[in-house]
Amino acid sequence: MLKINGQRFWEKPCYCGACPFYFGYGKTSDMERESSSGFCVQFEIRKRYYDHIPKRCADIFEKAFTYPDGSELVIVFRSARSNPKPTSNP
């Protein structure tokens, strides 16, 4: 077991709905059936429950599971706003 940004992982998830970062919406209000859509709190995007794990997530999990059991990892993402491209001087 290891922790990534405070979420416990016992194994690499094989689809988005199995990931602890996935937040499912549960029942829809109009049809009273299970909704397959949800939200990835790690990347702040809408995802479907059975979507394949994106490559960026797979790379994070591959790297994270090389650490010993009980490790606690913090992953920080840089945004384009916080890291602007350098401008060239003429």
pLDDT of residue 90: 54
Residue 32, pLDDT above cutoff 60: no
Return the pLDDT at 31. 53
Q: Is the pTM of this model over 0.85?
A: no
pLDDT at 56 over 70: yes
Q: Which residues contact residue 74 at a Cβ distance below 8 angstroms, ignoring those fewer than 6 apart?
A: 5
**3-class SS of residue 56:** helix
Token pair of 28 as six digits: 């829809």
pLDDT the model gives residue 66: 92
- CA gap 62, 21 in Å, rounded: 16
